[in-house]
């Protein structure tokens, strides 16, 4: 391996030369205490920045084994180190001068959720540490300014690395901060693990702050009403470090959230949506924990559907179309919602999260007057209200449903929560009594056997031997070659970096896993297995992926595959 001295000598030898001369710097270099790897060099100072990674052996990083010996602790430690490194790096960006992106220094900037990210990874076996960042290699026009790059590589980066990446260099206060992060992680994981044992699908701690600052800020709202559980639904759970914690436990089954407009129904549901992820201290939702398989479902007019068995919800179409292997390029609201439910079941969801406002009305309910006018034999849709109990009793799938205009679901709900000025009240008894005066409930049907196993035959990307390309189009979509995969209604994607990772995962699956034999579930299983083993080939080439990637849940992986029109079954 070359040394840092070799790198400095090479850089000085190319000072003033044309920008392509930087290409000769690619490779690994031993610095005091770490290895610097120049993984990718931009084509010119105006192109996407160069990519750099830093590797530190576990015995040199020396973080205590009990901060990374389990997955949830490893992710929490990696997240904290990334936040610290980013804060240290920020003042140095553009301090090295030049044209275009010269001097830029950037690394992934996490939000409120704690996600597994490629930008910072602590190895769970030996505690070794890898950081991945971007740097704009300096130039004047297209003439190299190597002394400016030397500032970046030999002054700026070492200053950040020395203060963040070596535990022995931490002050006692900084070490205490690491301890607090790990303890929170252990408490969150313990709470998540206890949900099922307690018969719960979600928990919202007393004192939690659920409202966010605004539609563009995910930080907690100032002066928001702290959450307080109804006494009838309050449970106490003892955590390893925090001790006893009280809050609202939402049991398995069917739970209805009702209330007037602007009283906090959707705010509660949105907190439960993101409760599949752990949150940082100070977020307000640190102890809002939802079953990790929960999926938010909605209608998506116009989405594509591929060979999905929606016969449990839609059948006997007038044109005689088979709904046991249903496909369309332009789904209706009801058809798309039915397909999304079945796809979520295929992905292993145990909880459905639904908001009446974003659902197809004809899919959710048919009132008695409509049933009298349009006979059941003339209606191909079996409304969700008739399936919701069968889904739980037959398939073990619970539902949390926000309803603002229809009380029909009172009949089938196990628990009814009314939000009143952001304060929850359990009104199950009152709702059931009121429902009796409106006649009998609609019949609940046993959920039928449906096919939850589909086998993709091919992914039509990178044709004619060409390498396929992926590109993130903001927070809403992903471009695969010429196709745009619409992800704007996959509402539990927490970070744009998860979208970027989905692009690489689809690309990898198309090249290596989709063979007409493996089911979609087996393909996702294999992708998860390889990521668990930190096989980075699934997220880039030659173990040098870009640093702006975050690992998505399997549910979002299924959602992306299912919205990819190039995927053939």
Per-residue pLDDT of the chain (569 residues; tens, 9 = 90+): 999 999 999 999 999 999 999 999 999 999 999 999 999 999 999 999 999 999 999 999 999 999 999 999 999 999 999 999 999 999 999 999 999 999 999 999 999 999 999 999 999 999 999 999 999 999 999 999 999 999 999 999 999 999 999 999 999 999 999 999 999 999 999 999 999 999 999 999 999 999 999 877 899 999 999 999 999 999 999 999 999 999 999 999 999 999 999 999 999 999 999 999 999 999 999 999 999 999 999 999 999 999 999 999 999 888 778 899 999 999 999 999 999 999 999 999 999 999 999 999 999 987 776 666 666 666 789 999 999 999 999 999 999 999 988 888 999 999 999 999 999 999 999 999 998 887 666 678 889 889 999 999 999 876 544 567 889 998 899 999 889 999 999 999 999 999 999 999 999 999 999 999 999 999 999 999 998 887 777 877 666 778 899 999 999 999 999 999 999 99
| Collapsed DSSP state (helix, strand, coil) of residue 182 | helix
Alpha-carbon 100 to chain mean position: 33
Return the C-alpha torsion angle 236, 237, 240, 241, nearest 10.
-40
One DSSP character per residue, 80-98 reads HHHHHHHHHHGGGTT-S--
Show the tokens assigned to 62.
């020396």
Q: What is the pLDDT of residue 366?
A: 79
Q: Cα separation of 292 and 193, whole Å?
A: 10
Q: Cα separation of 225 and 455, whole Å?
A: 48
Show the tokens assigned to 125.
């076996």
Q: What is the pLDDT of residue 439?
A: 67
Q: Could you report the per-residue pLDDT of 355-364, keeping only the tens digit for each?
A: 999 999 999 9
Q: Taking CA 124 as the corner, what is the angle to CA 122 and CA 128, rounded to the nearest 5 degrees?
A: 45
Phi-psi region of 73 (alpha: psi -120 to 50; beta: other; left: phi over 0): alpha
Show the tokens assigned to 508.
């990898």
Measuring CA to CA, how many Å separate 540 from each of 199, 430, 549? 41, 56, 10
Q: Cα separation of 273 and 284, whole Å?
A: 15
Phi-psi region of 120 (alpha: psi -120 to 50; beta: other; left: phi over 0): beta
Q: What is the pLDDT of residue 377?
A: 64
Q: What is the pLDDT of residue 547?
A: 87
| Collapsed DSSP state (helix, strand, coil) of residue 566 | coil
- From 183, 165, 185, 176, select the one nearest 107 (Cα to Cα): 165
Half-sphere exposure of 308 (CA within 13 A, CB side): 30
Q: How many CB atoms lie within 10 A of CB 364?
A: 22
Q: Give the distance between the most distant pair of CA atoms in the chain.
A: 88
Give residue limits of the domains in the chain.
2-170, 193-451, 458-568
pTM for this prediction: 0.95
Bridge-based pairing of strands 351-355 and 295-297 is parallel
Cβ pair 36, 29 in contact under 8 A: yes
Q: What is the pLDDT of residue 465?
A: 46
Counting other chains too, the contacts that 93-98 makes at CB distance below 8 Å and 24 or more residues apart are 95/151, 95/156, 96/138, 96/145, 96/148, 96/149, 96/151, 96/152, 96/156, 97/138, 97/145, 97/148, 98/45, 98/136, 98/138, 98/139, 98/140, 98/145, 98/148
Helices 333-346, 554-562: inter-axial angle, 10-degree rounding: 140
For 193-451, which CATH class?
A: alpha beta
Alpha-carbon 454 to chain mean position: 23
- From 204, 187, 225, 177, select the one nearest 79 (Cα to Cα): 177
């Amino acid at each position: 391996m070359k040394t840092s001295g070799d790198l400095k000598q090479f850089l000085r030898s190319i000072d003033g030369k044309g920008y392509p001369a930087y290409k000769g710097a690619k490779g690994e270099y031993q610095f005091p205490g770490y290895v610097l790897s120049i993984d990718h060099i931009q084509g010119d100072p105006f192109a996407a920045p160069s990519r750099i990674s830093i590797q530190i052996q576990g015995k040199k990083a020396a973080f205590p084994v009990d901060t990374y010996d389990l997955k949830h602790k490893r992710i929490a430690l990696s997240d904290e180190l990334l936040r610290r490194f980013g804060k240290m790096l920020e003042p140095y960006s553009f301090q090295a001068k030049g044209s275009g992106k010269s001097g830029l220094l950037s690394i992934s900037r996490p939000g409120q959720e704690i996600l597994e990210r490629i930008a910072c990874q602590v190895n769970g076996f030996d505690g070794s540490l890898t950081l991945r960042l971007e740097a704009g290699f300096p130039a004047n026009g297209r003439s190299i300014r190597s002394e400016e790059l030397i500032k970046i590589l030999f002054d700026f980066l070492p200053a950040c690395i020395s203060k963040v990446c070596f535990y022995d260099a931490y002050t006692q206060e900084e070490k205490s901060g690491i301890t607090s992060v790990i303890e929170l992680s252990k408490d969150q994981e313990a709470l998540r693990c206890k949900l099922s044992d307690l018969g719960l699908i979600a928990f919202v701690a007393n004192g939690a702050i659920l409202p966010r600052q605004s539609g563009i800020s995910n930080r907690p709202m100032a002066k928001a009403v702290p959450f307080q559980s109804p006494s009838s639904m309050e449970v106490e759970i003892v955590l390893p470090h925090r001790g006893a914690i009280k809050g609202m436990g939402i049991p398995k089954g069917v739970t209805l959230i009702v209330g007037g407009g602007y009283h906090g129904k959707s705010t509660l549901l949105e907190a439960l949506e993101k409760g599949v992820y752990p949150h940082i201290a100070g977020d307000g939702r640190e102890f809002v924990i939802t079953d990790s398989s929960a999926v938010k479902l909605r209608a998506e007019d116009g989405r594509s559907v591929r060979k999905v068995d929606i016969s449990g919800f839609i059948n006997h179409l007038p044109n005689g179309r088979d709904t046991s292997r249903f496909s369309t390029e332009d789904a209706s609201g009801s058809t798309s919602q039915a397909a999304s439910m079945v796809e979520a079941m295929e992905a292993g969801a145990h909880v459905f999260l639904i908001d009446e406002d974003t659902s197809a009305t004809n899919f959710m309910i048919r009132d008695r007057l409509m049933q009298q006018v349009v006979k059941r034999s003339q209606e191909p849709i079996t409304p969700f209200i008739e399936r919701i109990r069968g889904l739980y009793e037959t398939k073990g799938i619970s539902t949390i449903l926000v309803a603002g205009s229809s009380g029909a679901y009172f009949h089938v709900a196990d628990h009814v929560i009314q939000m009143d000025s952001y304060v929850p009240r359990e009104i199950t008894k009152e709702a059931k009594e009121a429902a009796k005066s409106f006649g009998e409930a609609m019949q609940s049907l046993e959920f039928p056997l449906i096919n939850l196993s589909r086998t993709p035959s091919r992914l039509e990307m990178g044709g004619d031997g060409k390498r396929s390309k992926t590109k993130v189009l903001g927070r809403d979509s992903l471009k695969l070659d010429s196709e745009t995969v619409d992800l704007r209604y996959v509402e539990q994607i927490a970070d744009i970096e998860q979208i970027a990772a989905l692009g690489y995962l689809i690309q990898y699956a198309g090249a290596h896993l989709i063979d007409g034999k493996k089911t979609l579930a087996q393909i996702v299983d294999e992708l998860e297995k390889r990521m668990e083993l930190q096989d980075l080939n699934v997220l880039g080439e030659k173990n040098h992926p870009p640093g702006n990637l975050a690992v998505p849940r399997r549910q979002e992986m299924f959602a992306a595959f299912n919205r990819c029109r190039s995927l053939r079954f």
